Chains A and B, each alone.
Chain A
C-alpha cells in the first residue's frame, strides 16, 4: 500500500479541515484497490443503466423459433433460458432492479441509523441505553431472516423488501455513528455551540455530523456492498421481483435446474453479482484504509 500517499494526504489535512471527505477521497484514490473497485463498479452500473435500452430482443418474451435452453448461436449469442427468452437481453435488462432496490434500502438505513446514533451519542444516559439496546434487538435477526418474516405476513412486495433491508441496515449504521460521534460531542466547538444556545438539531447536523463524515462514507459503501448481496439473495429465493420481470437474482432462480443443459442464464448474473459486490467492497476497503491512514497521521502529529 502507498503509505507515502496517505502521509501526503494527511499533511494536506490542515488546509482542508472543513472538507474532510475531500481528503478521504484523495487518500483512497491513491490506492490501486479503490481504482480497480471503481472501474468494476462503474462497468456494472453502466451496464445496468444503459443495458435495458439496447437489448437485442424483448427481455420478457420468448424468441421466435428458439427452444428453451437453446445453446448459444449467431441468433441468440448466449442462448435462451427456461422459457426460450434471450439470455443476453435478460442480462442487460436485469441489473437495474438490484442496484435501485439496494441503493434505496442503503440510503434509508443510513439516514435512520445516523439519526439514531447521533441522538444516542449526544444525549447519553438512559436514552442512549434504550436506543442502542433496541438496535441490538434488530441485530439479533439476520437481514434475510427479517425480510422473510415480513414477507410471510405481507407477501413478496418490493417496498417491503426495501423497508426490511433498510431497517436491518439501521442498527449497523447507528453503531458506527454513535462510536464516531461519542468523542466528537465532547470537543470544544460543540460546547461552544451549546453555550451560544444553538438548537440541538443544529448542533447535531451542522456541528457533529460533518466531523464524522469519513467513517460514515466508509460505512455507506460497505453497507451498499452487503445490501446488494442481500437484495440479490432475496430475489434468488423468489421474494424479490416476480416473473416475468428481468432481474439477475430471479434469472438464477428460474434457470438453476437447467444448469447442465445451458449454464449461461445462471452464470452471467452470478458473475455480474459477484463483480458488483467485489467492486463495491474494494471501494469500501480503499476508503476505510484511507480513513485509518488519515487518523494515524493526525494522532502521530499530536
Chain B
C-alpha cells in the first residue's frame, strides 16, 4: 500500500501490535512471575486450604494462557475483573477516578502546550537576548526537578508556611465532579504545567531557530513583511512538526506524572488509585490502570506521527 492511507493503516497496526505486546508484558509481570499473588495477599502464615481457595477465586489455578485469554477478552467486553480490595468491579472503581485524572491532565495540557510553544517561539526570535537566556536557564532547571519536589515546594509556599492562599489537599464527595474544586485544582495543575512546559519550550525554540535561518523566511523578510508576521505566520507553523512529537511524548509522560502529583495533593484520580492498589496488591486494578496508561501513550504517539505528516507538506508529498 502506498500514500497517506497506507501510512496511516501501517501506523495504526503497529500501534495495536505494540499495545498487545505491552498487555502481555503487564500480564506477565503481575500474574506469571514466580511470586504468587495469593500468598502475597494472605501472608506467610496462610493455610494451604485458604491459599487454594483464593487461587481458585483469582483464577490462578487455570493454565496461564487461559488466564491471559480471560483477562484480555474481558477488556473488549468492558469487564476489567473484580477488585480484590473491595470486591467491586474494577470499571466501577475507576469510573469517577478517571474523570478526575483526565480533567487534571486536560487542564494541564490546555495551559502548557500553548505556553511552551509561545515561550519557545519568543526565545528563538530574541535569540541569546535576556529573555532567551532566562528562559533557557529556567527551563533547564525546572525540567530536571522531579514532580514531587515541585509539588511540595508549591505546597510549602502557597498553602502552609509562607502564604495560606491555596489548599494543598483536596477532599471530595462522591458524585461531585473535579470542576467543582477550582481552588484545589490550582496547585496540581501548576505542578504538571511546570513538568511539561520546559520540554515543549526547548524543542520549539530549537526548531524555530532553524526555521528562522531558512531561505523562505528570508524571502518573507525581503518582501518587507513585519517581523512579527514572519514569526507567527511563516516560521511557527513550520516549526510545529518536531514540537508535536515532543508534546505528545510529554502528554503521555503526564500519565506517569499524575501518579506522583496525585499522591502529593491527595487528588483522587487513577494515579492515587494505582498506588493504593499496589499497596493492597489488588492485581486486577493494577493491571487495568497500567494497560490504560500504556494505551494512552500508544494513542498519543500515533496522533503525533499522524499530526507530523499532516503539518509537514514535504513529508506528505513524499508519501504520495
| Residue A233 at the chain B interface, CB threshold 8 Å | yes
B19 pairs with A152, CB closer than 8 A: no
A273 pairs with B283, CB closer than 8 A: no
Q: For residue B13, give the distance in angstroms from its CB to the closest CB of chain A.
A: 12
A133 pairs with B290, CB closer than 8 A: no
A148 pairs with B259, CB closer than 8 A: yes
Q: A138 CA to B294 CA in the complex, in Å?
A: 9
**Which one of B161, B286, B290 contacts A259 once the chains associate, using CB atoms below 8 Å?**
B161
B281 pairs with A233, CB closer than 8 A: no
A142 pairs with B21, CB closer than 8 A: no
A142 pairs with B253, CB closer than 8 A: yes
Q: B26 — nearest CB in chain A belongs to which residue?
A: A149
B145 pairs with A278, CB closer than 8 A: yes
**Which one of B147, B148, B156, B297 contacts A139 once the chains associate, using CB atoms below 8 Å?**
B297
Q: A232 — nearest CB in chain B belongs to which residue?
A: B146
Per-residue A-contact encoding for B230-273, CB less than 8 Å = 1, 0 else? 00000000000000000000001101110110011000000000
Q: A150 CA to B26 CA in the complex, in Å?
A: 9
Residues on B with C-beta less than 8 A from A259 are 155-156, 160-161, 168
B30 pairs with A141, CB closer than 8 A: no
A270 pairs with B35, CB closer than 8 A: no
Q: A148 — nearest CB in chain B belongs to which residue?
A: B278
Residues on B with C-beta less than 8 A from A267 are 156
A143 pairs with B256, CB closer than 8 A: yes
Q: For residue B197, give the distance in angstroms from its CB to the closest CB of chain A.
A: 16
| Residue B194 at the chain A interface, CB threshold 8 Å | no
Q: A155 CA to B40 CA in the complex, in Å?
A: 8
Q: B31 — nearest CB in chain A belongs to which residue?
A: A153
Residues on A with C-beta less than 8 A from B148 are 232-233, 236, 252
Q: A140 CA to B276 CA in the complex, in Å?
A: 22
Q: For residue B258, give the distance in angstroms from its CB to the closest CB of chain A.
A: 10
**Which one of B21, B146, B156 contacts A229 once the chains associate, using CB atoms below 8 Å?**
B146
A233 pairs with B160, CB closer than 8 A: no
Per-residue B-contact encoding for A25-64, CB less than 8 Å = 1, 0 else? 0000000010000000000000000000000000000000
B144 pairs with A278, CB closer than 8 A: yes
A-B contact count (CB 8 A): 140
Q: A6 CA to B145 CA in the complex, in Å?
A: 28
Residues on A with C-beta less than 8 A from B294 are 140-141
Residues on B with C-beta less than 8 A from A144 are 256, 259-260
Q: For residue A102, give the distance in angstroms from its CB to the closest CB of chain B.
A: 11
Q: For residue B251, give the distance in angstroms from its CB to the closest CB of chain A.
A: 12
Per-residue B-contact encoding for A264-288, CB less than 8 Å = 1, 0 else? 0011001001100110111001000
| Residue A12 at the chain B interface, CB threshold 8 Å | no
Among residues 95 to 141 in chain B, which have CB atoms less than 8 Å away from a CB atom of chain A? 140-141
Among residues 223 to 269 in chain A, which have CB atoms less than 8 Å away from a CB atom of chain B? 225, 229-230, 232-233, 236-239, 252, 256, 259-260, 263, 266-267
Q: A152 CA to B22 CA in the complex, in Å?
A: 17
Q: B40 — nearest CB in chain A belongs to which residue?
A: A155
Q: For residue B74, give the distance in angstroms from its CB to the closest CB of chain A.
A: 18
B297 pairs with A273, CB closer than 8 A: no
Among residues 2 to 37 in chain B, which have CB atoms less than 8 Å away from a CB atom of chain A? 14, 17-19, 21-22, 25-26, 29-30, 33, 35, 37
A154 pairs with B256, CB closer than 8 A: no
Per-residue A-contact encoding for B142-175, CB less than 8 Å = 1, 0 else? 0111111100110110001100000010000000
Q: A256 — nearest CB in chain B belongs to which residue?
A: B152
**Which one of A140, A150, A281, A285 contacts B22 once the chains associate, using CB atoms below 8 Å?**
A140
Q: For residue B239, give the distance in angstroms from its CB to the closest CB of chain A.
A: 19
B33 pairs with A153, CB closer than 8 A: yes
| Residue A127 at the chain B interface, CB threshold 8 Å | no
Residues on B with C-beta less than 8 A from A151 are 278
Q: A33 CA to B22 CA in the complex, in Å?
A: 39
B18 pairs with A145, CB closer than 8 A: no
Residues on A with C-beta less than 8 A from B168 are 259
B156 pairs with A150, CB closer than 8 A: no
Q: A267 — nearest CB in chain B belongs to which residue?
A: B156
Per-residue A-contact encoding for B162-192, CB less than 8 Å = 1, 0 else? 0000001000000000000000000000000
| Residue B208 at the chain A interface, CB threshold 8 Å | no
B145 pairs with A277, CB closer than 8 A: yes
| Residue B274 at the chain A interface, CB threshold 8 Å | yes
| Residue A137 at the chain B interface, CB threshold 8 Å | yes
B259 pairs with A278, CB closer than 8 A: no
Q: A150 CA to B147 CA in the complex, in Å?
A: 21
Q: A145 CA to B287 CA in the complex, in Å?
A: 11
Q: B297 — nearest CB in chain A belongs to which residue?
A: A140
Q: A110 CA to B287 CA in the complex, in Å?
A: 28
Question: A263 with B293: in contact, given A148-B278, A149-B286 (CB under 8 Å)?
Answer: no
A134 pairs with B260, CB closer than 8 A: no
Which residues does B use to contact A, with CB under 8 Å?
A: 14, 17-19, 21-22, 25-26, 29-30, 33, 35, 37, 40, 140-141, 143-149, 152-153, 155-156, 160-161, 168, 252-253, 255-257, 259-260, 263-264, 274-275, 277-279, 281-283, 286-287, 289-290, 293-294, 297-298
Beyond A145-B293, A236-B263, A238-B279: 15 further Cβ-contacts under 8 Å? A133-B18, A139-B297, A140-B294, A142-B252, A142-B293, A148-B274, A148-B286, A153-B37, A153-B283, A236-B148, A237-B275, A259-B168, A274-B145, A281-B144, A285-B140
- Name the 3 nearest CB pairs between A and B, nearest first: A142-B256, A229-B146, A281-B144
